[in-house]
Amino acid sequence: MNKLIKIGLLALAFCMPTHPPSAVAQEASPSPTPTIPDKEAVFDQKIIDTALHEAGVTKQVQYESPRVKEYVETTDQEADEYYQDGWCNAFVSWVMKKNGYEFASLNSLDQIGYFYHQVAEPKIGDVILLAGHITLYFGKATLPGFDGAILILGGNQAHAVNVLPIQSSLVQGYYEPIKAPPGWSPSRHLSNSSMNSYNRIDDKGYIKEILEKAVAIPTY
């Protein structure tokens, strides 16, 4: 098993919830920074470091999480992304903001396309769009039952910040972050009609089931 797969599985084991969430979700504690093997290019190690440091943060509907509220409020997201449990984009945006990159202030496909540059081949730390989810690319993996598996590092993946395996065929696009110029802040490139189109990233539907099943994969 190569070093990257071991890293992903260790992170997955660390991030899997072991008990029901409390009324206030526990915050992340500092976690070790893995060494990414040279055979997969890394876009920006600081993106990975920042995201992994949040591993274990959880948030479900009807439960509070001060940390997730910070992701939402400091990146100019809509309040329903917190209260209705659609915080995957808030997490990615928070990670990008922490490291000086542009980010989307709405979890809409129409909005996200303005702030990331689409690429054919991903680097570790690039953004991934799935149907109903936005996350970060964390490398390739070889796992039973997952043809062409990749690891994704993100928030609101089965209600937590964690590393999960998915089939690469589910990916709708890989995107490279764009450095934010001095004084930059996100604008909203959405009309009222597109806001009403429900073309939003909210982790609902079949992708939610896929992420929840991925959490249950044995790590031994």
Name the residue ranges covered by the structural domains of the chain. 3-215
Q: Please compute the mean of the pLDDT values over residues 173-180 and round it to a whole number.
A: 92
pLDDT at 36: 42
- Confirm whether pTM is higher than 0.85: no
Percentages of the chain per state (helix, strand, coil), in multiples of 5 = 30, 20, 50
Ordered DSSP codes for 60-81:
-TT-B-HHHHHHHHTTT--THH
Question: Within 10 Å of residue 25's Cβ, how many Cβ atoms?
Answer: 22
Token reading at 199: 């073309």
Token reading at 20: 């029901």
Cβ distance 207 to 133 under 8 Å?
yes
pLDDT at 86: 83
Question: Within 10 Å of residue 99's Cβ, how many Cβ atoms?
Answer: 20
Q: Which residue shows structure tokens 């959880």? A: 58
Q: Please compute the mean of the pLDDT values over residues 28-55 and round it to a whole number.
A: 74
Q: Please compute the mean of the pLDDT values over residues 112-116 and round it to a whole number.
A: 70
**Confidence check: pLDDT of 219 > 80:** no
Alpha-carbon span 47 to 27, nearest angstrom: 19
Angle at 84 between CA 78 and CA 85, to 5 degrees: 95
**Confidence check: pLDDT of 179 > 70:** yes
**Confidence check: pLDDT of 113 > 70:** no
